Amino acid sequence: MLDTFLIDLLTRNIDGWNRWREEHPGVKPHLVNAHLQGIDLAGANLYQVELVRADLREANLREVDLREAELMGADLQQANLHQADLGKADLYKSILKQANLSEANLCGAILTAANLEGADLGQADLSGANLRRALLSKANLAGVTLTGALMNGPQLEYLIRSGLVIPENENVTRIATEV
């Protein structure tokens, strides 16, 4: 069940939310199916928060700590995740169409079957991320780090055909491929 106290605290007072998180480090907030569309959550501590199927369309998540967060099936279309920390976050089947993920940390993130069409991933770190079956057409990968990222064998070729922007100096051979 969605905790209305926590939703209210998160949406009304980020400093209060962050203080509550510091005072309750063992609590993993359960915000499944939360409706947070367009909400300004910049700087929030969402470490290990359960946001499965949450509606975060157009939310401001700039510099948010989403490490190890559960975002499976979350809708993050056009969300601002600039410089957000999504290290080891689970974004399986999430929708990140046209999201701003520039300079974000996505190291070890699970992006399997995620929709990143038209997303800005410029300067993002996707080292060790699982991108198998992720949709990346028209995404900006300028300056992205893909060291050790997992992709389907034919996926890179498909991405290039789809118009993905890959800088000339990016060593795409660093991408590990799995079938």
Q: Global pTM? A: 0.88
Greater pLDDT, 73 or 4:
73
The whole-number pLDDT of residue 172 equals 44
Average pLDDT estimate for 114-125: 96
Average pLDDT estimate for 134-151: 87
Burial 123-132 (b: 16+ CB within 10 A, else e): bbbbbbbbbb
The whole-number pLDDT of residue 137 equals 85
The whole-number pLDDT of residue 83 equals 98
CB under 8 Å to 3, separation ≥6 — which residues? 29, 30, 31
Which token pair is 2? 């969605």
CA distance 138 to 118: 5
Residue 67 has pLDDT above 70, yes or no: yes
Report the range out of 42-51, 125-134, 145-154, 158-167 with the highest average pLDDT.
42-51
Rounded to a whole number of angstroms, the CA Rg of the chain reads 16
The whole-number pLDDT of residue 65 equals 98
Residue 176 has pLDDT above 50, yes or no: no
Average pLDDT estimate for 106-128: 96
Give the total number of structural domains in the chain: 1
Q: Show the domain range for 112.
A: 1-179
Longest dimension (CA), the chain: 50
CATH number, domain of 17, equals: 2.160.20.80
CA distance 94 to 134: 10
Q: What is the pLDDT of residues 9-23, one digit of tens each?
A: 999 999 999 999 999
Residue 125 has pLDDT above 80, yes or no: yes
Q: How many CB atoms lie within 10 A of CB 71?
A: 27
With bands split at pLDDT 50, 70 and 90, how would you rate the model's confidence at 159?
A: low
With bands split at pLDDT 50, 70 and 90, how would you rate the model's confidence at 173?
A: very low
Ramachandran sector of residue 60 (left: φ over 0; alpha: ψ -120 to 50; beta: rest): beta
> Contact, 95 vs 115, CB < 8 A?
yes
> Contact, 104 vs 127, CB < 8 A?
no
- At position 101, the amino acid (one-letter code) is L
Residue 28 has pLDDT above 50, yes or no: yes
Residue 179 has pLDDT above 50, yes or no: no
Q: What is the pLDDT of residues 75-99, one digit of tens each?
A: 999 999 999 999 999 999 999 999 9
